[in-house]
Structure 1
């Protein structure tokens, strides 16, 4: 069955589901899954043949073949590392080539305007991909008029490239997480464009110099 894009604001159930997916992706990018979360992911039985359905299917299968201990080691290697992991999941890194750069400054300015503050226990700069996904979850739930603008300014320019890099790592679970994230954000770009009645939100890849 072909899924049609919404032409109006989605209902509350759809909005809650979208927020949950943003939070789940953020959770898995920020820290490895514990035993309970891994078991829940393994139990998923998504149906369909689109990119998003295949993303869920791949993650569920990879979850069933993994252990929390192995994924904890893989998470450190891929997303943390001694200095930096295989993937450096910060907007400034992807957009300016350095940490704590212009993308973080612009994000902090928007977060202040939105009244959103970094959690006191968090040590990561706010432009970590997990943090930006968590902000999107909050906006989906509480400020739907802000979600498309935030997505365009802070996720569209770099998130797909970051998740593509994650999809290329050698741990199946994290690679499938990258693929699922790309499929979900691509659908979100189309959804937000349809709701706003604007041109699709496009991922921007700078030309190679």
Structure 2
């Protein structure tokens, strides 16, 4: 039996098939949910407008009451990872493009990347961005890019990097999404996991965060974003690549100093 939050999201999206399409996964996967999986909360919230507190009050209800306990810098980092997770998991809806167009920037490298994303979103056409996403990451057979750790680190899919990641997720108590067709080393899933680690939704110390980042994110994800930035099919996603590359560089430097 589905919980109320999932029912509200399905109604807001216009049905199970429409929700699955909006967040870029298969219809049977959504059909088998009884509640929104933790790794999909941000994507479903963005696609439907149903708040994360309503979708998963067990994860977000208490956090909303103790937001002051989350360091503001960590909260901003978690939002950055969540944004990248949403943009990598599915093409942005018109609603999300409108939200991105309202982003403000500043003189820092990340601020300039935000300003560029806002400009790109303001002039983007959702249908064209959807086609761009398809050409980049899906394609007829395969897309121009394969956003998986195993592929970037070994040249093949579903190799040892995925096996090592699954072992570490088990140790952290992070369960995979039921019936999800994507392996856990997809860049969107890793960004969503990092968002959860940073925001405190998963029980992990700063040392565990750093170890996870250095083992599963930093060895390859910066290269992925650089490839997105220079991809032949990239238009809107060119600025997404620049944002992701800049953010991963900042994270890498911060974790280096922290160690």
Matches within 5 A, 1:102-121: 102-121=160-179
- Note the alpha carbon deviations across 1:12-71, whole angstroms, 9 max, x for none: 2221111111011011011011111100111112111x3212211211111111111111
Q: Which has the higher helix share?
A: 2
CA distance in 1, matches of 2:245, 2:179: 28
Larger Rg: 2
Q: CA deviation at 1:127?
A: 0.3
Q: CA deviation at 1:121?
A: 4.9
CA distance in 2, matches of 1:120, 1:53: 36
* Other-structure match for 2:186: 128
In the alignment, structure 1 residue 153 sits paired with structure 2 residue 153: no
Query: Unaligned regions of 5+ residues in structure 2, if any?
Result: 1-68
SS of alignment partner, residue 156 of structure 2 = coil
CA distance in 1, matches of 2:70, 2:163: 34
Matches within 5 A, 1:32-47: 32-47=91-106
In the alignment, structure 1 residue 23 sits paired with structure 2 residue 93: no
Moved over 3 A (4+): none
TM-score (norm 1): 0.85
Q: CA deviation at 1:82?
A: 1.9
SS of alignment partner, residue 167 of structure 2 = helix
CA distance in 2, matches of 1:138, 1:42: 25
* Bigger RCO (CA 8 Å, 6+ sep): 1
- Note the alpha carbon deviations across 1:127-172, whole angstroms, 9 max, x for none: 0011111111111122233110001000111111111110012432
TM-score (norm 2): 0.69
CA distance in 2, matches of 1:87, 1:57: 25
Q: CA deviation at 1:89?
A: 0.1
CA distance in 1, matches of 2:251, 2:234: 26
**Aligned with 1:165 (options 196, 203, 227):** 227
Q: CA deviation at 1:11?
A: 5.9
CA distance in 2, matches of 1:171, 1:193: 31
Matches within 5 A, 1:81-100: 81-100=139-158
**Aligned with 2:246 (options 154, 172, 183):** 183
CA RMSD of aligned residues (A): 1.5
Aligned length: 186
CA distance in 1, matches of 2:91, 2:143: 14
CA distance in 2, matches of 1:66, 1:122: 29
* Other-structure match for 2:35: none
